[in-house]
Structure 1
Amino acid sequence: MPLPTRRHLLGLSLALGLTACSTPPTAHSPQRPQLLVLMVVDGLPMRQVTDYRDQLAADGLARFLERGRWFSDAHYGHGHTVTAAGHAVMLSGAHPQRTGIISNEWRDPATGAPVYNTGDAAHTYLDNPTAPLAGTSPRSLKVQTLGDVLRTRSAASKVIGISGKDRGAILPAGHLGTAYMYMSETGQFSSSTYYMPALPAWVKDFNAVKPADAFFKKTWAPLLPESAYARSVPDGQSWQVASGNGNRLPAVIGDKTDAPGPRFYGNLLASPFGDELTLAFARAAVTNEKLGQRGVQDILSVSLSSHDYINHAYGPESRLSHDHLLHLDRHLQAFFQFLDKTVGAGNYVLALTADHGFSDTPEWALTQGRDAGRFASAPSLAAVNAALASRFGVDKLARDFSAAGLLLNDQLAAQRGLDFAAVQAAAREELLKLPGVETVFTREQLLGDDVTTPYLAAMRKSFDPTRAAQLQIVLKPHWIASYRPGGSTHGTPHRYDTHVPLLFWGPSFVGRGEIRTPAEVADLAPTLAAVAGLPAPAQSQGRDLGIKP
């Protein structure tokens, strides 16, 4: 059932298990931060932070590593590590089994129809076209976020999510916040009718000067001398995607177009300038909404999408990814110093994480002596369906791949009088024959209590039985689900996909030093709640990491 609209905040609060406070915290002592800032670097593996630590700026990521509290062994607990699933965990503290955000997209188990994680046909983008399945609301998110807790206790508080991707803005903002996302067709930032009937004047003013156009024909050049990139893979490799902005630096953004347009605006995200533009919008939000400057607590979430696009195209081992992280680090430094000046260094807390890690490109992994490859869905589906048709005499018993699984047509099996358990067992058997498949779990295993079988606990945390396919697949290490011959991706329970930064800074509220004790990203929400003096979200499965001095 769709969640109520924002006009029914009280009803929504009750539905999500929020509890009103008799004395809303409209004013705070110095012991509580005025602003919680969550920075998300989409697709940033922790290994890139530590591998390039010696090349970081003095006050970007190094602010956390040198003067903050950071967890060097932080992971996602769930197995299907993708953008939407990770963003839903961060400020809810709940795994996908509870959030319902099992992937970026999946198929409805009853009908096979595609579902987008933040899709909501009842709402449209403001002043921008709305494509089918576009992300316009948090309707599919089944749990509350820390922002929902805050807004229920203090109606004057503001919760704002900003991202290059709709899901990166909507899911951390929760049900009661406000999300702004980049429109790759127009180069603008917009929101949807779920949040408001019209954009605020400051957003219209920001878009009116066409800030994205300032990057047209701008050159992305390496930040450091060539010798500084000896530890990463050179440009121009055959497995690095050459479309978009090409696969060599320097690269001119928009060099194959005559004027700014959808192609340029889309390619802008796959460059350091996409992050620069997103942070410019975040500055405008802090300034115009006076976040952290009004005597009430606020939350700002900024998800930077460019690193993910770059790693998808070139792989995290590439010089392009290496150089992008260095550019991003300098942009973060400037943004943090802006917050110091605008909000006050003693008035806010920073947290930084990523929604998932990344696998090296399989072709590169092969050169390093690893067993690696690409799992292609179309021929795999055809092979499974052919085997099932041969055994049971019925075509298309497998609908399609859905999130991390294979969705079987249980209705068709019942209509033909087939034993569904036998169909499921046969499909599992055929999947295990496919190149790159490590293991396959059945619905019964995922709903059981086995805690010893490798990967099962992680895949169970990704499994919402109302939305997930009956069979859940784990690929072998260094194998990726791939729809194209180049680039890389993520999505497995392997360490390179689960290991992400979990970094905190705020000298008035956060201690210092590296913590090597294992942690999970699900711990982020209850940890920030403790720092802010708020209760953890109702469905949180994480724990307070105790980062206070």
Structure 2
Amino acid sequence: MKKITFLLLPFFLLGILTVDAQRKNRKNHDPKESQNRPKLVVGIVVDQMRYDYLTRFWNHYGEGGFKRLANQGFNCKNHHFNYAPTSTGPGHASVYTGTTPATHGIIGNHWYGKTEDKMVYCASDDAFESVGTTTDDGKMSPHRMLTTTITDQLRLHTQMRGKVIAVALKDRGAVLPGGHTANAAYWFEGGDTGQWISSSYYMDALPEWVNNFNASGKIKSYKKAWTTLKNISSYLESGPDNNAYEGLFETEIAPTFPHSTPNLLNKEKDFEILKYTPYGNSITTDFALAAIEAEQLGKDGIADFLAISFSSTDYIGHKYGVNSKEVQDTYLRLDLELDRLLNTLDAQVGAGQYMVFLTADHGAINVPAYLKDEKVPAGYLDNEKMKEDFTNFLKYRYGTTDILKNVSNNQIFLDHKIIKNLDMGLDDVQEEIAAEILSYDMIDKVYTGYQMWQNEYTSGIPYILQNGWHQKRSGDVLYVTKPAHISYPRTGSSHGTPMIYDTHVPLLFYGAGIKKGSTAHRTEIPDIAPTLAVMLGTAFPNGTTGKPIVKMLE
């Protein structure tokens, strides 16, 4: 018996060593961070959300929305866009690519296409057909975005097994975050249809669950009066309800609550109007929740990604302005939508099994007319006067206006062939035109394309402009208006500049792998995607210029 035991001893020891090796091997291949990787990432972009909307309305928020994200997650308090123009297309592209327009190529919502010799739209693509509608509203794709997104990298990392779904009222708010490889991107067609649609870039026909949602009557149920969530007298964080700085709905004679115009109440047509109410955000949440359930997001061991953009905040901000009670009410209602979304994620995916980040695609300026009445330097560009003066300058200096191709996004595009025929140097012409533009009263700073090409700026306005300047797509002269001076109607707010009111936005991380805390160190929009890549264990998007947010990852 002892002999048999002795003979078996080596096999027993070998078994112990093998088990120990397996444990070590499993430990080496299952690092601690992989245990904290989320089953589902939910990216939330709130269109036109200034950072101070988080703090200004804080006491009105409940515990389950913005406060839950900020108190139980990580708050980047000094978060900025590091480029201009600050608008929706470039904003969404930059959040998800981890870089700026200088690299990903989305230099505006619309821009002058040099090769096409016409204005182009950031998401349009006639190579594809609309899905779910007979209009051209679905002829979209991300083909103008030159780099990959974090959503692309997740798809590639998982051999296309991880799902990516993108949802927004605006087509560009879904197409660009979804990246080049998304399973689906959906956006809302208003008009007289009021339905979610897509593009043949993603699918041949809408899934059954989308058709069911469109036919459910949910969207029609939001054609109702817009009243305040709370007693309007408690909205002390915004200006008076009736003022001269806000736009009007169709038949209104004053911009006051309740908003209950005929088309808002009509359940059979003009669903576009819902975008200008908080109900547009509610419709977005409804559809996102339907996607979570129907697509079984976060249900297996392979990470999925849901990109959501809340767009009504932008429509309402443009119409009513930063200081309006409409904006305040919209954010209080959005807080409830976030609460509803997080509670559903808890139930469907599991608390601690998903991760959320929330940011914005740009900020907004307070209405200049209001600022001016409050004795703050502000104003509006006299575009007709500038156009007249500039036209006269071109005729006098060059003998023709044909040298000018286009003016858009605060950039001037010149005809390089004509300049060559005039036997002039492009850099000299750029400099002459820059000097002329700088002489105009409302212009604060001017830079040339030659300067953008030859220099490497590391701070200030030129740094922000250079990050938004693409060598092949951008203009020859870039100009910046005086602070708080914009080209816009005298009601409502706008955005697009390199100024702080357009660049300072929130960034909140919450959920799986996120520690509680905050930082006042500067973070920038391109930092989001590489931070997500570190957390997901994927490669960085291929144009990444941002850096992981170490303060949160330590």
Give the alignment's TM-score, normalised by structure 1. Answer: 0.90
**Amino acid across the alignment from 1:56:** Y
Partner of 1:175: 180
1:432 and 2:438 matched: yes
Q: CA deviation at 1:294?
A: 2.4
Q: Does the 8 Å CA contact 1:85/1:101 hold for their aligned counterparts?
A: yes
**Amino acid across the alignment from 1:136:** M
1:161 and 2:169 matched: no
1:152 and 2:156 matched: yes
Instruction: Quote the Cα distance in structure 1 between the aligned partners of 2:378 and 2:212.
Output: 49
Instruction: Quote the Cα distance in structure 2 between the aligned partners of 1:308 and 1:245.
Output: 22
Residues 195-250 of structure 1: CA distance to partner in whole angstroms, max 9, x if unpaired?
1111111111111224221112x121112223322231122322311135852211
DSSP-derived class of the 1:189 partner: strand
Instruction: Quote the Cα distance in structure 2 between the aligned partners of 1:208 and 1:32.
Output: 37
Q: Does the 8 Å CA contact 1:388/1:423 hold for their aligned counterparts?
A: no
1:142 and 2:150 matched: no
* Worse-matched range after superposition: 240-249 or 33-42: 240-249
Instruction: Quote the Cα distance in structure 2 between the aligned partners of 1:96 and 1:452.
Output: 16
Partner of 1:83: 88
Q: CA deviation at 1:260?
A: 2.6
Q: How many residues align?
A: 518
Unaligned runs of 5+ in 2: 1-28
Instruction: Quote the Cα distance in structure 2 between the aligned partners of 1:70 and 1:257.
Output: 39
Match of 2:122 among 109, 117, 120: 117
* Worse-matched range after superposition: 242-251 or 220-229: 242-251
Partner of 1:250: 258
**Amino acid across the alignment from 1:495:** I
1:38 and 2:43 matched: yes
Match of 2:214 among 191, 195, 207: 207
Q: CA deviation at 1:426?
A: 2.9
DSSP-derived class of the 2:199 partner: coil
Distance verdict in 2 for CA 1:257–1:399, change over 3 Å = farther
**Amino acid across the alignment from 1:473:** Y
DSSP-derived class of the 1:503 partner: strand
Partner of 1:540: 544
Task: Summarize the alignment of residues 436-515 of structure 1 with structure 2, pairs less than 5 Å apart.
Answer: 436-451=442-457, 454-482=460-488, 484-506=489-511, 508-515=512-519
Match of 1:317 among 312, 320, 323: 323
Distance verdict in 2 for CA 1:258–1:335, change over 3 Å = closer
Q: Does the 8 Å CA contact 2:150/2:529 hold for their aligned counterparts?
A: yes
DSSP-derived class of the 1:162 partner: strand
Q: Does the 8 Å CA contact 1:79/1:461 hold for their aligned counterparts?
A: yes
DSSP-derived class of the 1:211 partner: coil
**Amino acid across the alignment from 2:543:** Q
Q: 4+ runs of 1 displaced by more than 6 Å?
A: none
Task: Summarize the alignment of residues 153-302 of structure 1 with structure 2, pairs less than 5 Å apart.
Answer: 153-154=157-158, 155-177=160-182, 178-185=184-191, 186-216=193-223, 218-244=224-250, 247-252=255-260, 254-255=262-263, 258-261=266-269, 264-302=270-308
Partner of 2:97: 92
Q: Does the 8 Å CA contact 2:411/2:474 hold for their aligned counterparts?
A: yes
Partner of 1:362: 368
Partner of 1:13: none
Give the alignment's TM-score, normalised by structure 2. Answer: 0.89
DSSP-derived class of the 1:447 partner: helix
Residues 119-139 of structure 1: CA distance to partner in whole angstroms, max 9, x if unpaired?
11101221214448x760000
Partner of 2:74: 69
1:51 and 2:43 matched: no
Residues 163-215 of structure 1: CA distance to partner in whole angstroms, max 9, x if unpaired?
01011001111000121111122211111011111111111111122422111
**Amino acid across the alignment from 2:208:** A
Instruction: Quote the Cα distance in structure 1 between the aligned partners of 2:458 and 2:178.
Output: 36
Q: CA deviation at 1:378?
A: 5.1
Distance verdict in 2 for CA 1:395–1:91, change over 3 Å = closer
Residues 250-271 of structure 1: CA distance to partner in whole angstroms, max 9, x if unpaired?
112654675532xx31110111
Partner of 2:533: 529
Distance verdict in 2 for CA 1:527–1:505, change over 3 Å = same
DSSP-derived class of the 1:191 partner: strand
* Worse-matched range after superposition: 265-274 or 227-236: 227-236
Instruction: Quote the Cα distance in structure 2 between the aligned partners of 1:387 and 1:239.
Output: 35
Residues 70-113 of structure 1: CA distance to partner in whole angstroms, max 9, x if unpaired?
11100011121111111001121011100100110100134530
Instruction: Quote the Cα distance in structure 2 between the aligned partners of 1:453 and 1:532.
Output: 31
* Worse-matched range after superposition: 493-502 or 471-480: 471-480
DSSP-derived class of the 1:496 partner: helix
Q: Does the 8 Å CA contact 1:124/1:130 hold for their aligned counterparts?
A: no
* Worse-matched range after superposition: 539-548 or 91-100: 539-548
Q: Does the 8 Å CA contact 2:275/2:312 hold for their aligned counterparts?
A: yes
**Amino acid across the alignment from 1:513:** G
Unaligned runs of 5+ in 1: 1-23
Instruction: Quote the Cα distance in structure 2 between the aligned partners of 1:48 and 1:376.
Output: 30
Instruction: Quote the Cα distance in structure 2 between the aligned partners of 1:528 and 1:256.
Output: 40
Instruction: Quote the Cα distance in structure 2 between the aligned partners of 1:213 and 1:406.
Output: 44
DSSP-derived class of the 2:322 partner: coil
Partner of 2:109: 104
* Worse-matched range after superposition: 485-494 or 136-145: 485-494
Distance verdict in 2 for CA 1:452–1:509, change over 3 Å = closer
Partner of 1:21: none
Residues 481-511 of structure 1: CA distance to partner in whole angstroms, max 9, x if unpaired?
32x34222001111110000100110x4101
DSSP-derived class of the 2:548 partner: coil
**Amino acid across the alignment from 1:77:** N
Q: Does the 8 Å CA contact 1:254/1:260 hold for their aligned counterparts?
A: no
Instruction: Quote the Cα distance in structure 1 between the aligned partners of 2:215 and 2:180.
Output: 28
Instruction: Quote the Cα distance in structure 1 between the aligned partners of 2:51 and 2:345.
Output: 24
Distance verdict in 2 for CA 1:543–1:244, change over 3 Å = farther
Instruction: Quote the Cα distance in structure 2 between the aligned partners of 1:319 and 1:365.
Output: 17
Instruction: Quote the Cα distance in structure 2 between the aligned partners of 1:379 and 1:117.
Output: 30
State the percentage of identical aligned residues.
Answer: 32
Task: Summarize the alignment of residues 393-404 of structure 1 with structure 2, pairs less than 5 Å apart.
Answer: 393-404=399-410
Greater helix content? 2
* Worse-matched range after superposition: 244-253 or 283-292: 244-253
DSSP-derived class of the 1:343 partner: helix
**Amino acid across the alignment from 2:225:** T
* Worse-matched range after superposition: 473-482 or 165-174: 473-482
Instruction: Quote the Cα distance in structure 2 between the aligned partners of 1:79 and 1:245.
Output: 36
Instruction: Quote the Cα distance in structure 2 between the aligned partners of 1:371 and 1:278.
Output: 38
Q: Higher Cα Rg: structure 1 or 2?
A: 2
1:303 and 2:309 matched: yes
Q: Does the 8 Å CA contact 1:377/1:401 hold for their aligned counterparts?
A: no
Distance verdict in 2 for CA 1:298–1:460, change over 3 Å = same
